[in-house]
Structure 1
Amino acid sequence: MSILPWVLLLLLSVYAAHWGADKIAEPLQKLRQQWGLSEAAGAAFVAFATASPEIGTNTTSAIRGFSDIGLGNLLGSNIISVPAIVTVAYIASWWRNREKSGGKNRNSNNNLNNNSISPKPLKVKSEALYVQAIPYLLIVALAALLTLPKSWRGLQPIDAWIMLAAYVIYLGNAILRKRKQRNQVQWNRKEIVTAVIGIVLLIFGAYFTVTATEKIVSNLGISQVIGGLFITATLSIVPEVFATWSVAGSGQLTAATTSVIADNTATMTLAFFPLALVTLPVENLLLYSVNLGFVALLAIVYAAFLYWGKPNYSFSLKEVLILNGIYLVYLAVMVFGVLKTV
């Protein structure tokens, strides 16, 4: 059978899952305002919805016996998302500043002067480090501790409950820090009905994402984990890219830049849960450890740039390029090293 129908089904399924997640996220955004949560804490809260496509995909893959697709999706999405989302947020911030200052900084030849087109650091609030980046780094370290040592290598049911507890602690810390004044919000029947429809589409989208990926990797003759790493994971962040552009373009730079870490934290814990619950052995230690290592490396670099960057709590153009360079190194290591052993 031709691979094209399955590719089209995969694209449609990913879109449906993210559309559903967006409709769940909207009521959660209202709850953030109603409860007086900060931007970074709100990102952690709303991440339950924005990461739900990955959670749904991994749950489906575990139930249907295709856990390797879920594992690849978990690791791959946590690698590609960091450079992709920070880059998009940086460009959107620069474009917004350019548009705002464009009318005021034109010379007699109607050209923008250097100040209006020079890229400026992408600034975020300090809470991005303490509410998001550091907790995420600790959760990645916990995942490595639970799954890499020889005596308990692989994903096991006890690991599922430990990672779930870690997410509850992370979410509690995010919600309780730097509370703001509560706002009154209006609820209507239409948005509740839309959220229910979103949940239904999310479920169906997740199911057919796994089905389509399994058929594609079968036709291509590649392993399920590779399909999850490079097919499902890459497509899963496309809707997030467009959402980040919109949020950063509106001036919510902290929310736009930290959402990726909030999503990754939810993925590393809640999307980890169903895979570990059914037990998933690590069959290729090199493949798993290299990918988990790059997940950790990007988490470390992200946190380091927030803390030591100039100025602090920002991403300069150089730092954005370094994040993308790490991803290119990852691709080189995978293509010229790891994949030759698979």
Structure 2
Amino acid sequence: MTAVWAAVLLAAVWTAYWGAERLSGPLKKLRKQWGFSVAAGGSFLGIAAASPEIGINVTSAARGVSDIGLGAMLGSNVLAIPLMVATAYVATRKSGLKESGNKDHQEHRRKHYVAVDKGAVTVQALPYLAILAVFALLTLPAPWRGLQPIDGWLLLLAYLAYLVQALVRGRKQGENVDWSRKERWMAIAGVSALAVGAYFTVFSSEKIISALGIPNVVGGLFITATVAALPEVFATWSVARSGQVTSASTSVIGDHAVTMTLASIPLTIIGTPIEDFRLFWVSLAFVALMPVLYAMFIHFSGEQARGFHRWTIFGFAAAYAAFVAVIVFWVQPFQGSGGGA
């Protein structure tokens, strides 16, 4: 039976890839039509790319296994920034990149870095850290620890504030853009395929976790979260290859903003307690560490070569390796001895 679900998983990943391939063109047109900045363009892709997390949280809430959803939500937010930055870097190393608006791409390749607009820090990373602060305030203090119905409304307001500031800041006069009927339908098909593929990617991975007998929260942190990130990898690759490098590099923040707000609403509706507090706060600390590194790497890269350099890829990888080591060698021994709280 595991082999059957593995086949479903491969089919779902291919469906998500097909959908992601059709998003880069519409994203670029929408951004130009409405006059949004390149950094704000990541918010569009983030909404679509967050469909795996939304799907798994709806599913886990409906089945009464909210710990899978919570684990996948935290795990994907630790993994995704290192993975998407690395994906954008590799995608832009290849020749044949469409260089619309990016005439210096050959220099970027020669100097081994991904050029990113400085607005990625102020428009995406810092507001996302504010969302994490709100999430921590709602879940960590003992009197209201966990996710409750009122938290869903507060997180919705936090997301709307993030989205408005991302779209309004740096907005310019929009351009006239022509849309053919085929482009409209292909855009709709792309979003639909990404959502369907993402859902069945998560659904099949849950079945595999169950067959392997892995604890729900650990499976969510490392297996479901990893598989759920695949559609976003495809979307990031496609958008980066289309020449929209900043949008590709910032979509991961847009995804995370959705994940920690809108995608968590199903868990707030049913009420999700924090059963292993040590595992939760350690994971949340690493969730916050990744955007801090994201902002620092861009800010300190300098005006002449602003973005992600080759050494930053190794920095992100080291941070994720530290996360895995802390969970395996410090958190899990306490969990096994009953000291997880």
Is TM more than 0.5 here? yes
Match of 2:319 among 313, 318, 326: 326
SS in 1 for 2:75: helix
Q: Are the aligned partners of 2:97 and 2:241 in contact in 1 as well (CA < 8 Å)?
A: no
Alignment-derived partner of residue 156 in structure 1: 148
Partner of 2:237: 245
Aligned to 2:36, what secondary structure does the other structure show?
coil
Partner of residue 37, structure 2: 38
Among residues 120, 130, 133, which one is paired with 1:138 in the alignment? 130
Is 2:123–2:165's contact at 8 Å kept on the other side of the alignment?
A: yes
The residue number in structure 2 matching 1:111 is none
Report the equivalent of 1:288: 280
Deviation of 1:188 after TM superposition, in Å, equals: 3.6
Q: Tell me by how many angstroms 1:229 deviates.
A: 1.6
Name the residue aligned to 2:254: 262
Residue 68 (structure 1) aligns with: 67
Q: Does 1:233 align with 2:232?
A: no
In 2, are the aligned partners of 1:94 and 1:119 still within 8 Å (CA)? no
Matched, 1:88 2:81: no
User: RMSD over aligned Cα, in angstroms?
Assistant: 2.9
Distance 2:112 2:288 in 1: 27
Q: Tell me, which stretches of 5 or more residues in structure 2 are unaligned?
A: 100-106, 337-341
Task: Say if 1:200 and 1:83 are closer, same or farther in 2 by CA, change over 3 A.
Answer: closer
Greater shift in the superposed pair: 44-53 or 33-42: 44-53
- Check the 8 A contact 1:77/1:236 in 2, yes or no: yes
Whole-Å separation in 1 of the counterparts to 2:186 and 2:93: 34
Pick closer, same or farther for the CA change 1:13–1:58 going to 2, 3 Å: farther
Work out the CA distance in 2 between the residues paired with 1:37 and 1:26.
15
Q: Aligned equivalents of 2:87 and 2:49: distance in 1? A: 17
Work out whether residues 25 and 49 of structure 1, in 8 Å CA contact, stay in contact via their aligned partners in 2.
Answer: no
How far 1:172 sits from its partner (Å)?
A: 0.4
Q: Which amino acid aligns with 2:73?
A: L
Alpha-carbon distance in structure 1 between the residues aligned to 2:243 and 2:186: 27
**Which of the pair has more CA radius of gyration?**
1
Deviations along 1:18-56, one digit per CA (max 9) or x if unpaired, are 645665776555332211111111211332122223212
Q: CA deviation at 1:282?
A: 0.8
Q: Is contact 2:49-2:235 (8 Å) kept?
A: no
Contact 2:49 2:194 in 1 (8 A): no
Give the secondary structure class of the aligned counterpart of 1:154: coil
Question: Deviations along 1:155-192, whole A, 9 cap, x unmatched?
Answer: 11111111111110111001111112312223343444
**Alignment-derived partner of residue 56 in structure 1:** 55
Cα distance change of structure 1 residues 164 and 18 upon mapping to structure 2, 3 Å threshold: farther
Residues 43/118 of structure 1: CA separation in 2 closer, same or farther (3 Å cut): closer
> Do 2:98 and 2:241's aligned partners in 1 also have CA atoms closer than 8 Å?
no
- What amino acid sits opposite 2:307 in the alignment? S
Q: What whole-Å deviation, never above 9, does each CA across 1:200-227 have from its counterpart, x for those lacking one?
A: 5556545544542332222211122222
Quick one: structure 1 residues 289 and 15, their matched pair in 2 at CA, closer, same or farther if it must change by over 3 Å? Answer: farther
Return the TM-score normalized by structure 2: 0.85
Q: Give the conservation status (yes or no) of the 8 Å contact 1:54–1:74.
A: yes
Please, what TM-score do these two structures have when normalized by structure 1?
A: 0.85
Letter in 1 for 2:57: N
Which letter does structure 2 place at the counterpart of 1:65? G
Secondary structure, in 3 states, of the residue corresponding to 1:40?
Answer: coil
Contact kept? 2:56, 2:202, Cα under 8 Å? yes
Mark the CA change 1:303 to 1:207 in structure 2 (over 3 Å): closer, same or farther: closer
Equivalent in the alignment of 1:172: 164
Letter in 2 for 1:38: S
For residues 182 and 167 of structure 2, the distance between their equivalents in structure 1, rounded to whole angstroms, comes to 27
Amino acid paired to 1:237: A
Task: Tell me the CA shift for residue 234 of structure 1.
Answer: 0.8
Distance in 2, matches of 1:338 and 1:156, equals 25
The yes-or-no answer on 1:304 pairing with 2:303 is no
User: In structure 2, the residue corresponding to 1:128 is in which secondary structure?
Assistant: helix
